[in-house]
Chains A and B, each alone.
Chain A
Amino acid sequence: MALARRIAVAVAALLGLALAVFGAWFAFILGPKGTAAFHATSNAPLVLGPNVLNRVTAPVTVTASAASGPVFLGAAVPQDTDELVGQAKHNFVASADFPARTLTIEQLGSSDLANPSDSHVWRSTGEGSITVTQDQAPQSILAYPAQGGSFDVDVTVARNTWFLQALVALVVGLIVMAFAGGWLWQNWRTTPEDSGADGTPAATPTPQPEPTEAPERAEERR
């Protein structure tokens, strides 16, 4: 039984260590504002869907820059964006990968996409940067470089809670690791009480303290 307990405590210590490392790492990556950032380079107009924009209850900012010139950014309901883009050549973000902090891009369509900046489907527009809130989710964003060519896209979402959660994970992990490690240290050289092959405790005699008498009583006997 004591062996099983030691194993369990050792596992707890390892989990605590993992939790502490996990918390410290995330706290370092996210920073005090809890900012997660993702990056990609697209060689065609890029659609960012609700699978990227509407996963957390926090504003999401998309910035885009191209060497060729300004990049139009428009946010609309996903159905409108999909219909507007249609079969024109474009990329879409399949997933945002963390902690790699990259956007996985896939390509669709073949024809040229007409400049969509004058369309009335956009709920909001921006040049180079746009921020969407979650009150009108689901939404999609189309990034369209006016002069064509490749462009860089960054998606950032800031959630303070993430940093606090990372700190909590760090502290809890350290506490668990400290207690478990201390217990293991104290019991490291102690002989395990379990000796039965079947796992039942051995019938070891209980050490009894030697009987002693009060000094006054002994003096009286004399």
Chain B
Amino acid sequence: MTLRVTRRLGTRRLGTRRLGTRRLGAVVGAVALAGSLASCASVAGISDPPTATVGGAVSSSRAQAIAAQVIDTAEKATATPGAEGDALRDSAFTGDALTAAKADAKLAGTLSQDQKDAVTLTPTPPVVLAVSNGLSYPRSMVVQTTRAKSGLPVLSLLVTPDVRTAFKIAASAPMLPATEVPAFDQVTQGAPSLGDDVAGLAVEPEQLVGAYAASLAYPAPPAADNRPFTDDAFANKIKAAAKDQADKVASVGSFTEQHLAKDVAGGLRLAGDRGALAFTVMERKDTLLNKASGTINVSEPFKALTGVSSVKAEATLDSLEFVVFVIPDSGQAQVVAAQENLVSATGT
């Protein structure tokens, strides 16, 4: 009892300062306890879900799986004739690429084994170079495969127009020698799509492909100063082939070649806002006029498409040309990949 009294006396002798400290501690403790209980959710690490999605429209691993699936289906379609092959082509290609794939199927019988081997891809899984970011449609990805025989990389643009449609190949072309594609942003980050906004590009894709198509005309392309593109191997090959064809028929007729811009299939912006990779499509029309009295023998592909083995008056061949440009933020664009596909022909 004495001890208890003594303790009380001792407490009182501490004065108001210690008593105030104790009260303050009690208040702080109570507030902390109440605060802890009130903010139980945040203490437990529970928060509202984020609302904004960042990065690529599809994950890196999923993009890889999709690309592998689409490329595999396209490979099977190439090797499969008939209705079964058409079904595969419908599920692997879209737009002008589907038109070209169907034409290739018709022409498959005219190809030699070397020609078939030349377009065969390595079994290595495709490499996804870039995936469009954001949630809006259409979404796209750029995929690289490799041709087994030549080792040439092939660039393909895969697109999906809406949530219910799978990714399909909209354009595809082998890269040209001594060209390269600058880096994209990481797949996980995603790359901006080449949409209607052409800000930051040295030239609009539509204008570029229009000027490029005009420059390939044979025999007389229109004069043009300040071309927005550099010379490239594909243009040189097209021009040389046209001249060669014209020389062959010079004694019996004439040969002309016209190229028209058809579409910009899509593309993605390069990393660091340094331009874009644009997949474009051109239409090419070759016209052969027979000015002699005899007939002109035609090629095997022409026969396969028309059923005509010779022409008396005129032959036309329509091709699709897939041309891939690197459009910088300033300066001239460069063709880095290109391919032509004969799709139809007529003859009289």
Contacts and interface: CB of A to CB of B under 8 A. Distances in A.
A147 B136 CA distance: 32
A132 B98 CA distance: 36
Main DSSP-derived SS at the B contact region: loop
A120 B58 contact: yes
B183 interface: no
Contacts of A15: 33
Contacts of A138: 49-51, 53
Contact of B55 (A19, A84, A136): A136
Contact of A56 (B46, B59, B160, B167): B46
Given A120-B66, A162-B44, A207-B5, A77 B49 contact: no
Interface in B264-280: none
Determine the interface band of chain A, counting residues with CB < 8 A from chain B.
35 or more
B141 to A, nearest CB: 10
Contact of B50 (A56, A119, A137): A137
Interface in A68-111: 77, 79-80, 83-84
B237 interface: no
Contacts of B160: 120
A119 B53 contact: no
Nearest to B22: A5
A123 B49 contact: no
B62 A123 contact: yes
A55 B163 contact: no
A72 B50 CA distance: 25
B163 A84 contact: yes
Contacts of B4: 190
Contacts of A12: 29-30
B166 A119 contact: yes
B135 interface: yes
Interface of A: 8, 12, 15, 19, 49-51, 53-58, 77, 79-80, 83-84, 118-124, 136-138, 159, 161-162, 165, 190, 206-207
Given A12-B30, A123-B58, 10 more contacts: A55-B49, A56-B44, A79-B135, A120-B58, A120-B160, A120-B167, A121-B58, A123-B62, A124-B61, A159-B45
23 contacts: A12-B30, A15-B33, A53-B49, A54-B49, A55-B46, A55-B48, A56-B44, A57-B45, A77-B53, A79-B53, A80-B135, A80-B163, A83-B163, A84-B163, A119-B164, A119-B166, A120-B167, A121-B58, A121-B163, A138-B50, A161-B45, A165-B44, A207-B5
Interface of B: 4-5, 9, 26, 29-30, 33, 43-51, 53, 55, 57-59, 61-62, 66, 135, 160, 163-164, 166-167
| 9 interchain residue pairs of minimum CB distance | A50-B49, A54-B49, A123-B59, A83-B163, A120-B166, A77-B53, A120-B167, A123-B62, A138-B49
